[in-house]
Amino acid sequence: MKIVVKKEGELLDYLYNNLDMPKKRIKQYLTHGSIFVNNNRTRKYNLKVVPGMTIIIDTDSKNKKTLPFDILFEDEHIIVVNKPSGLLTIATEKERDKTLFHIVREYLVSKNKYARVFIVHRLDKDTSGIVVLAKDEKTKNKLQENWNEYVYLREYVAVVHGKPKKDEDRIVQRLKETKTNLVYTTKDEDGKEAITNYKVIKSNDNYSMLSINIETGRKNQIRVALSTINNPIVGDKKYGLKEDKENRLYLHANRLKMYYPEIKKDILFETTTPNEFKKIMN
């Protein structure tokens, strides 16, 4: 379906006002990456459109129910995906539908109407990378209950401001959380231990790319750890520099190695470093 824009507006509202189509269905096309504006795929509801722009809705793509991000592994018990930055893992009070859980569930149900999906672990909304989901409750419980024993490697790549004083280090901290969900370091014994290892891969005049391995899985622990050594992650609006103008968090979960009980073997999931990370370092 091809449309030529005749009046300025926001994409979702424009399509709703000019097509005989429910707003929910238009949102589904956007969520599944089936809408192109001037040949560029978009999932932004509020993308500004102006007269002369061309909008194409790939209805065949929507009907096939493909995911708008990569599947790294899938069998009858788990599905492992590469979550994009800016997408919630699971619903909150403010957002119910635009989540990793909801999108993966729709994909699985399109293939099997009885399909179920369960979150095994989470990434922050702004962190991209590997997420494991289970297809049945038994697998979900087994993985969650033994997560620290099953998972051998949790590796991230990040771009930070400046260059750390040490080329590699092991940062051991205790963390607490405020009522406003801000994580901070503490010397109190009731703080949760967080261990973050990093190694500098390369640096330029403004930034450094780090390889990060975590020994614990505390909320925001990498972001806090790098902020406390005065090398906050680029694009971190919560713990970073106020003058930072980047529109995404430069933190990506790129490798996860775990024992998979269904095959009784270790399995390694890997992704490539996002293109934005490479561009900012060149």
Q: Tell me what pLDDT residue 239 has.
A: 96
How high is the pLDDT of residue 97? 67
Average pLDDT in the 236-256 region?
94
C-beta pairs of 132-135 under 8 Å, 24+ apart in sequence: 132/78, 132/79, 132/80, 132/256, 132/258, 132/269, 133/78, 133/79, 133/80, 133/81, 133/100, 133/101, 133/104, 134/77, 134/78, 135/76, 135/77, 135/78, 135/79, 135/108
Q: pTM score, two decimals? A: 0.76
**Cβ-contact 236, 140 below 8 angstroms:** no
Distance, in Å, from the CA atom of 36 to the CA atom of 44, rounded to the nearest integer, reads 11
Q: What is the pLDDT of residues 48-66, one digit of tens each?
A: 999 999 999 987 655 556 7
Amino acid at 83: K
- Please report the pLDDT score of residue 60 as a whole number: 67
Cβ neighbour number for residue 279 with a 10 Å cutoff: 8
Domains and CATH numbers, the chain: 2-64 (3.10.290.10), 68-145 (3.30.2350.10), 152-253 (3.30.2350.10)
SS3 39: coil
Mean pLDDT (the chain, rounded): 92
What pLDDT shows up at residue 21?
A: 86
Q: Which residue has the higher pLDDT, 25 or 140?
A: 140
Which pLDDT tens digit goes with each residue over 80-120?
A: 999 999 999 987 766 666 899 999 999 998 888 899 999 99
